[in-house]
Amino acid sequence: MQKRGKKENLVIVHPFPLNSILIKDITNCLDDYFDITFIDLPGFIRTIKPLKKIGYKEFGRYLNEKLANIGLCEYILCGISFGFLVVSQITPPKECKAILAVGPYLGAWSLKVSTKKRWIARSLINAILFLRLTNLVWTNKLFKTVLLKITNYPEQRLSILLQEVDARTFFITAKIVVTAKPKVKFGNLPYILLLNYDDQTIHANHTLNIFKRDAKQLFVIDHKLEHYPKQITKEYFQKRLKPEDIDKALDWLIKVSD
C-alpha cells in the first residue's frame, strides 16, 4: 500500500439486524481516516429485494457480486459482527488489501447466550416461520415492545429498523445467528481485529484465540465500544476508541503490505 497521507477506502458490511441507514453516522466518526462505502445485504433495507434463499453463504455470494462492481482500486473490507461472518465466506478481490473485523460473530458458540435461551429462541422462530406469521409478528405492538427491551434502542431508531428490514429475512437470519456452526475462512490478507474484552454480546477471549490461531497477519485493537451502541457520535467513538490505536493499525498495515 501507499504511504499514508490520504484517506483509506473502507467498505463496510453491517451487523445483524441493522443497515447503512442505522449505522450511517460511522461516516462522521471515522472521516479523518476513511472514505466509507456501505454494502447493504438483501432484505435489510427496502431498496434491496430479499433473497429467495437466505443464508450466510448466499449473503456472501451477493457480497462478491457487489464487490466485483464497486469501482474502487484499493480498499479495506470491514465486517461488523454478523457482517464479518458474511465477509469470511468470500475470497476477497485483489483490490481488497486487508480485512477489518469489528466485534466479529463466528457462530452461535460465540454468543454470550446460554444454550437454553438459544434453544427457546430457535423454537419460537421455527414456530413463526412454520406458521408463516413473520409479517403479522413484525407489525405487532407487543413484538416492538419486546425489541425495545432487548435492544434498548431509542424508539425512533427501532421504528426505522421495522420499516426497512424484511420480516422473513429478519427471522431466518435470527435463526441462523442462534444456531449457526459455520466454517469461517481466514485468507492470506492482513486482519485488523477490533475487540472489546467486556463485550456483552460475544465471548471476546475465545474470539481472540481463533484470530490468533487462524489469521496469518493480525493487529488487535482493544476498545470500549458497545456491540450495539444506542447512539453513534464522534464523541462516543473518541472516548471509546483511541485515535492513536487507529494510527498504529494503519501504520502496521503499510509495513506488512510492502
13-27 pLDDT, tens digit per residue, is 999 999 999 999 999
The reported pLDDT for the residue numbered 5 is 61
Identify the structural domains of the chain with CATH numbers, from first to last.
8-112+182-257 (3.40.50.1820), 115-175 (no CATH)
Q: What is the pLDDT of residue 149?
A: 85
237-247 tens-digit pLDDT: 989 999 999 99
Give the per-residue pLDDT at 6: 79
Host H or E run for residue 12: strand 8-13
* pLDDT confidence tier of residue 230, bands split at 50, 70 and 90: confident
What are the residues whose beta carbons fall under 8 Å from the beta carbon of 225, sequence distance 6 or more? 103, 194, 196, 236, 237, 240, 241
Q: What is the pLDDT of residues 104-143, one digit of tens each?
A: 999 999 999 999 999 999 999 999 999 999 999 999 999 9
Is a pLDDT exceeding 80 seen at residue 2? no
- Predicted local confidence at residue 4, as pLDDT: 55
Q: Which of 198, 251, 256, 258 is nearest to 224 (CA)?
A: 198
Record the pTM: 0.94
DSSP codes of every residue in 95-111: TEEEEEEES---SGGGB
- Count CA atoms closer than 13 A to 119's CA, side-chain side: 3
- Work out the angle at residue 82's Cα, subtended by the Cα atoms of residues 60 and 37, and round it to the nearest 5 degrees: 70
User: What pLDDT score does 55 carry?
Assistant: 97
Report the length, in residues, of the chain. Answer: 258
| Banded pLDDT at 1 (limits 50, 70, 90) | very low
R_g over Cα of the chain: 18
Contact (CB, 8 A) for 136 and 237: no
Q: Which of 22, 15, 235 is nearest to 103 (CA)?
A: 15
Q: Is the pLDDT of residue 175 over 50?
A: yes
- Which strands, in side-by-side order, build the sheet including 8-13? 34-39, 8-13, 75-80, 96-102, 191-195, 218-222
The rounded percent of the chain whose pLDDT value lies above 90 is 86
Output DSSP code: residue 4: S
pLDDT, residue 60, reads: 97
Write down the mean pLDDT value for the chain: 94
Whether residue 36 has pLDDT greater than 50: yes
C-alpha–C-alpha distance, residues 108 and 201, integer Å: 11
Mean pLDDT of 181-200: 95
Q: Span 226-235, mean pLDDT?
A: 88
Residue 61 predicted with pLDDT over 60: yes
